[in-house]
Chains A and B, each alone.
With several copies, the nearest count.
Chain A
Amino acid sequence: MKLIIAIIQPHRLEEVKDELYHAGINLITVSEVLGHGRQKGVTEYYRGTKESGNLLRKIRLEIAVNEEFVEPTIKALIKGAKTGEVGDGKIFVYDLNECIRIRTEERGPNAIG
Chain B
Amino acid sequence: MKRFKFLLLGIFTLLSQLVFSQDVTSKINSGDTAWMLISTALVMFMTAPALALFYGGLVKRKNVLNILMQCFITLAVVSLLWVICGYTLSFSPKSLIPGFIGNFDFAFLKNVGLGASDTYATTIPHLLFVIYQGMFAVITPALIIGAFAERMKFSSFLIFVIVWCIFVYFPVAHWIWSTDGWLFKLGVVDFAGGIVVHINAGIASLVAAIMIGKRKYLKPTPPHNLTFTMFGAAMLWFGWFGFNAGSALGANGLAANAFVVTNTAAAAAVVIWFILDLFFVKKPTMLGSATGAIAGLAAITPAAGFVDVGASIVIGAASSLICYFMVVFVKNKIGYDDALDAFGVHGIGGIFGSIIVGVFASPLIQSAYSGLLFGNPKQLFIQVFGSVVVIVYSLVLTIIIFKVIDIFMGLRVSEKEEAMGLDITQHNERGYTVIE
Contacts and interface: CB of A to CB of B under 8 A. Distances in A.
B435 A55 contact: yes
Nearest to B324: A48
Q: Which interface residue of A9, A43, A48 has the most chain B CB atoms within 10 A?
A: A48
A46 B217 CA distance: 17
Interface in A77-100: 85
Interface residues of B, number: 32
B434 interface: yes
B247 to A, nearest CB: 29
A27 interface: no
Contact of B218 (A9, A14, A49, A55): A14
Contacts of B425: 42
A47 interface: yes
Interface string A12-32: 011100100000000000111
Contacts of A107: none
A103 interface: no
B160 to A, nearest CB: 25
B328 interface: yes
Interface size class of A (residues with CB under 8 A): 20 to 34
Given A18-B218, A47-B287, 9 more contacts: A10-B435, A10-B436, A11-B419, A44-B429, A44-B430, A46-B429, A47-B291, A48-B277, A57-B62
27 contacts: A11-B419, A11-B420, A14-B218, A14-B219, A18-B218, A30-B435, A31-B435, A32-B435, A34-B435, A42-B424, A43-B428, A44-B222, A44-B428, A44-B429, A46-B285, A46-B429, A47-B287, A47-B327, A47-B341, A48-B277, A48-B281, A48-B324, A48-B327, A48-B329, A49-B220, A51-B219, A51-B222
Interface string A42-66: 1111111111000101010000000
Interface of B: 62, 217-220, 222-223, 277, 280-281, 283, 285, 287-288, 291, 324, 327-329, 332, 341, 416, 419-420, 424-425, 428-430, 434-436
Nearest to B423: A44
A46 B222 contact: yes
B434 A57 contact: yes
**What 5 pairs across the A-B complex have the smallest Cβ distances?**
A48-B328, A14-B218, A11-B419, A45-B281, A45-B428
A67 B220 CA distance: 34
- Residue from A32, A46, A49, A57 whose CB has the most chain B CB atoms within 10 Å: A46
Contacts of B281: 45, 48, 50
Given A32-B435, A42-B428, A47 B420 contact: no
> In this complex, which of A15, A32, A34, A44 has the most chain B Cβ atoms within 10 angstroms of its Cβ?
A44
Contacts of A43: 428
B435 A13 contact: yes
A57 B60 CA distance: 13
A79 to B, nearest CB: 14
A47 B328 contact: yes
Contacts of A45: 277, 281, 283, 285, 428-429
Nearest to A42: B424
Contacts of A85: 416
A31 B281 CA distance: 29
Contacts of B218: 14-15, 18
B332 to A, nearest CB: 7
A32 B218 CA distance: 19
A51 to B, nearest CB: 6
A58 to B, nearest CB: 10
A57 B431 CA distance: 13
A50 B436 CA distance: 17
Contact of B287 (A13, A18, A46): A46
